[in-house]
């Protein structure tokens, strides 16, 4: 497993297909997601002088056979070179990645196979045992991957796990974090087919639209959230954010952006500066971001609106104070209401992200949440079934109490009840999941608002497509 010369190394980063065959409602509104994390890692490795490519299976290798063919093409093209092949593993794609790793091992018996991402970070033992993966990179991976491709002895690399000669799993010391993320190069957007990607239906206003993220870590502790990059919130400077936006605008004509940072508005000053920079540059873009209801205020929202922000998604989860408390959300129904009102007043479309089947949920808490949502009438809602991702407090609690109903990872998509609750059966969770979507999107006033607010034919077509897909999914579901 040793690499001798960085020029000889070819690093191939693989993003698996998010399996559309499995029950997952979000698939119905999702289009094509860019592997942003791989673009970040690729840029870092390339900066260190190593040639790198990204294979996005969703676009170029939708099944195992075509994946094998693609690998053979790389092998042919880069004969005699040492391959480092890396897989992005999130929980629902874990099994698929294990299959991809097996195929890779057959085609490249001598390659170094590595894996990273949220699932690999929290269940590295399983990954090393179930797949022919040589090294798992834990958490932030730029520095560890650099050392792997630059041939450092494996035992001296921190932030990884691997199997030693005795087949024992060794976890090395934690890796130091990159504290100034402005030193990260711009993600290798040139390695992605930018215009083939498209954010979820309803999240973009016009095309081409692209997703971006500029921050790492979150100081909050919501119990269901997988925090691969820890608690320290770091965000690139507004100037760096603008640089990336401008790059995509000028080189690929991207006019609409979805900032998928967990909480884009955490650093208020940064957001205001970014809005000012957009104005100074006179770039006419529209954008959308995710945030928390306690990280906005009326003035900030007005400034964002003037700078092209057309939609905000708030992680709200529930309107029940007991549930909000149990999931450690650290917000109140009053704060949620205030955020919805000031967002609407600012002329920004408001999307609430909700969950059913969280710890503490009962029929009463879910009825209350639905009632409040229908009263406040945000423009959109997203509803998922609370899913206990490995490494989260929700998973640890449910596992400790023997409440996990299945550890079949490809069910961990947010559309299957996986935790046995005191106050609700799985059937009731499923019924509420359906009820939330159907009651909201079949509400005459919501439909009227959606139609009258849409500004172009394409948006109407897309919303209709999303509506039909979601309803088809829910109707077919038992
Ligand atoms: C943007 C985003 C999306 C986007 C695009 C995803 C993408 N491929 O980029 C969309 C909206 C499509 C999406 C969908 C989903 N997402 Co998502 N998403 C995110 C989000 C908000 C940001 C991801 C990101 O770019 N982070 C910034 C980078 C720098 O961090 P990172 O991804 O962790 O990458 C670093 C390391 O993990 C590591 N690393 C990552 N990949 C690799 C690969 C290799 C080879 C190596 C060596 C290292 C490595 O190095 C990176 C740089 O240091 C995260 C939350 C978060 N803050 O991470 C959730 C998150 C990744 N999503 C999550 C989930 C559950 C989903 C869905 C299953 C939701 C659903 N029900 O459908 C789907 C799965 C889709 C898919 N194809 O995988 C969970 C994953 C939980 C888990 N246990 O797997 C997260 C962590 C949210 C959460 N807090 O719980 N998601
Ligand atoms: S859900 Fe959002 S606010 Fe809560 S811990 Fe995760 S990233 Fe932070």
- Given 171, 190, 224, the domain boundary residue is 171
Ligand 2 neighbourhood includes 292 CB (under 6 angstroms): yes
Q: 315 - beta bridge partners?
A: 353
pLDDT score of 2: 44
Number of folded domains that form the chain: 2
What does the alpha-carbon distance between residue 87 and residue 113 come to, in Å, rounded to a whole number? 8
Look up tokens 């996990």; give the residue.
404
- Residue 445 falls inside a structural domain: yes
Q: What is the pLDDT of residue 246?
A: 97
Q: Is 41 in contact with 142 (CB distance < 8 Å)?
A: yes
Q: Do 254 and 116 lie in a common domain?
A: no
What does the alpha-carbon distance between residue 235 and residue 180 come to, in Å, rounded to a whole number? 9
- CA atoms 118, 122, 126, 129: torsion sign: positive
Interval between CA 219 and ligand 1 midpoint (Å): 17
165 with 202, same domain: the answer is no
On the question of pLDDT at 20 being above 60, the answer is no
Same domain, 214 and 140: no
CA distance from start to end of the chain: 49
In terms of pLDDT, which residue wins out, 379 or 462?
Answer: 379
C-alpha distances in angstroms, 211 versus 95, 177, 208, 257, 346? 26, 24, 10, 6, 23
Same domain, 154 and 208: no
What is the Cα–Cα distance from 89 to 15, expressed in whole angstroms? 8
Is residue 188 in some structural domain?
no
Distance of alpha carbon 110 from alpha carbon 103, whole angstroms: 13
Looking at residues 151-179, what average pLDDT do you find?
96
Query: 191 in a domain, yes or no?
Result: no
Ligand 1 atom nearest to CA at 144: 47
pLDDT at 372 > cutoff 90? yes
Measured distance CA(172)–CA(157) in Å, rounded: 7
Shared-domain flag, residues 298 and 166: no
Asked if residue 240 and residue 132 are part of one domain, the reply reads: no
Tell whether ligand 2 has an atom less than 6 A from the beta carbon of residue 220.
yes
Which pLDDT band, with edges at 50, 70 and 90, does 3 fall under? Answer: very low
Do 104 and 211 fall into the same domain? no
For residue 73, being part of any structural domain is answered with yes
Final residue of a structural domain among 121, 156, 171: 171
Tell me the two tokens of residue 44.
Answer: 């870092």
Question: SS3 of 149, please?
Answer: helix
Peptide bond before residue 99 is cis, with ω within 30 degrees of 0 = no
- State pLDDT tens for residues 208-218: 999 999 999 99
- Pair type for strands 309-317 and 234-235: unpaired
Q: Is 192 within a domain?
A: no
- CA-nearest residue for atom 53, ligand 1, is 140
Residue whose CB lies within 8 A of the most ligand 1 atoms, among 118, 134, 210, 291, for a mutation test: 118
- Do 371 and 307 sit in the same domain of this protein? yes
Average pLDDT over residues 437-459: 83
C-alpha distances out from residue 344 to 249, 265, 297, 336, 351, Å: 28, 17, 12, 12, 10
- Note whether 379 and 239 are same-domain residues: yes
CATH classification of the domain holding 76: 3.40.50.10090
| pLDDT above 70: percentage of residues in the chain | 96
Q: pLDDT for 182-221, tens place per residue?
A: 999 999 999 999 989 988 878 888 889 999 999 999 999 9
Flag whether 306 is in a domain.
Answer: yes
Range of the domain at 362: 198-476
* 313-359 per-position pLDDT tens digit: 999 999 999 999 999 999 999 999 999 999 999 999 999 999 999 99
Domain boundary among 171, 206, 224: 171
Task: Tell me: do 166 and 217 sit in the same domain.
Answer: no
**Residues within 6 Å of ligand 1 by CB:** 13, 18, 24, 26, 30, 33, 35-37, 40-41, 86-88, 90-93, 114-119, 137, 140-142, 145, 213, 216, 225-226, 228-229, 260, 262, 384, 389-390, 413-414
82 and 222 housed in the same domain? no
Q: Are residues 250 and 392 in the same domain?
A: yes
Helix (H, G, I), strand (E, B) or coil at 297: coil
Residue with CA closest to ligand 2 atom 3: 220
- Domain for residue 22, yes or no? yes
With CA atoms as reference, report the closest residue to 84 among 118, 41, 117. 41
CATH of the domain at 318: 3.80.30.20
């Amino acid at each position: 497993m040793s690499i001798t010369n960085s020029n000889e190394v070819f690093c191939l980063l693989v993003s698996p297909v998010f399996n559309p065959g499995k029950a997952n409602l979000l698939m119905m509104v999702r289009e094509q997601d860019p592997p942003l994390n791989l673009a970040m890692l690729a840029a870092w490795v390339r900066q260190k002088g190593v040639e790198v490519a990204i294979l996005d299976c969703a676009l170029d290798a939708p099944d195992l056979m075509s994946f094998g063919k693609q690998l053979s093409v790389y092998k042919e093209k880069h004969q005699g070179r040492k391959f480092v092949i890396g897989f992005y593993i999130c929980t629902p794609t874990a099994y698929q990645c294990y299959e991809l790793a097996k195929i890779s091992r057959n085609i490249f018996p001598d390659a170094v196979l590595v894996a990273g991402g949220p699932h690999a970070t929290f269940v590295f033992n399983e990954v090393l045992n179930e797949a022919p993966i040589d090294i798992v990179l834990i958490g932030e991976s730029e520095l560890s991957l650099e050392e792997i491709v630059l041939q450092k002895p494996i035992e001296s690399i921190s932030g990884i796990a691997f199997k030693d000669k005795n087949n024992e799993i060794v976890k090395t010391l934690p890796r130091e974090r990159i504290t100034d993320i402005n030193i990260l190069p711009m993600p290798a957007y040139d390695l992605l087919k930018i215009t083939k990607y498209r954010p979820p239906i309803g999240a973009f206003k016009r095309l081409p639209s692209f997703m971006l993220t500029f921050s790492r870590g979150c100081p909050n502790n919501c119990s269901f959230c997988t925090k691969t990059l820890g608690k320290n919130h770091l965000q690139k400077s507004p100037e760096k954010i603008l640089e990336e936006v401008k790059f995509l605008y000028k080189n690929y004509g991207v006019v609409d952006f979805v900032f998928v940072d967990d909480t884009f508005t955490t650093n208020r000053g940064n957001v205001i500066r970014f809005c000012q920079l957009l104005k100074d540059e006179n770039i006419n873009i529209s954008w959308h971001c995710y945030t928390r209801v306690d990280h906005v205020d009326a003035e900030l929202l007005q400034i964002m609106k003037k700078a092209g922000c057309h939609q905000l998604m708030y992680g709200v989860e529930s309107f029940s104070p007991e549930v909000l408390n149990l999931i450690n959300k650290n917000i109140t129904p009053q704060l949620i209401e205030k955020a919805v009102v000031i967002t609407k007043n600012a002329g920004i479309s408001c999307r609430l992200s909700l969950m059913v089947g969280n710890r503490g949920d009962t029929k009463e808490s879910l009825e209350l949440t639905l009632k409040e949502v229908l009263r406040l009438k945000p423009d959109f809602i997203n509803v998922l079934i609370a899913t206990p991702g490995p490494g989260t407090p929700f998973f640890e609690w449910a596992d400790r109490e023997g409440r996990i109903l299945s550890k079949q990872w490809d069910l961990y998509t947010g559309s299957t009840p996986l935790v046995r609750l005191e106050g609700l059966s799985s059937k009731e969770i499923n019924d509420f999941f359906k009820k939330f979507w159907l009651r909201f999107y079949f509400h005459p006033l919501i439909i009227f608002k959606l139609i009258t607010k849409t500004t172009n034919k394409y948006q109407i077509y897309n919303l209709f497509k999303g509506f039909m897909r979601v309803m088809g999914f829910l109707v077919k579901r038992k």
